[in-house]
Structure 1
Amino acid sequence: MHDTDDPLLPPFDTRIAVAVRDDLEAWQRLNVTAFLASGIAAAHPHLVGRPYADADGTAYLPLLGMPVLVFEASAPTLVAARERAVRRGLPIAVYTADMFRTGHDAANRAAVAAVAGPELDLVGCAVHGPRNAVDKVLKGASLHP
């Protein structure tokens, strides 16, 4: 940890990374990224900064307080990333192709619950953890263009 013990000040000891499948439409990539980033924020509220305000005093919602790296990956790379995260005990958020066909959170959870982990049709995943561990989980993914 750094001198201030503030995880939102550089240099960052941890990393937030989102990986989306390389064959998705642009709107799907954006949707999946937004959902997965919200999972990281929900699981790690200490990574959310303070609310924003402009010079006029208009208040804005807080955001994640550190960079979010967005990657693209093939379907097999996402499957491998899920397996590595699970094996390392690194919490992971997932988004499956079936979730595009649902309309609410309970249906999304049911779609994931209906399929064994290794068989999930992943279109994205997100992890937060030590930089080295996150890099190893996402081995084979490349930064999104």
Structure 2
Amino acid sequence: MASVKQIQVTFDCAEPERVARFWCEVLGYVVPPPPEGFTTWDDFDRSLPPERQGSGFTCLDPTGVGPRLYFQRVPEGKVVKNRVHLDVRVGTGLVGEERVAVLETECARLVALGAVRVQLLRADDYNESCLVMQDIEGNEFCLD
């Protein structure tokens, strides 16, 4: 059996760099250095054929622990709920109103970055509270 060493999470979007920079802010990720021979990503982008310019962007976990995130331009817009989404784990280990307060604080920070608050799902018999949100292109994610 093969052993998976790394994963990459890929987002389809209209504006790869804009969405990547949003997620860098959300997760504390960074934009990697441009390819060898280029001083900036803009220089690299201008070296591509016009149809490839702005077609992709990457961000990385600076600790090297989390997955690489890749954002690729696609022609179609988002039309249905995501089948896969990210859970941004800001309330791990917290319960009740203490957890909700942490979720709300992070929600306010992300709304200032352009995210949209969708719904607070309160704890039930099986799950602790989480907050459903959308990124700047409408992709769902949860503050968990």
TM-score, length of structure 2 as denominator length: 0.30
User: Greater relative contact order (Cα 8 A, min sep 6): structure 1 or 2?
Assistant: 1
TM-score, length of structure 1 as denominator length: 0.30
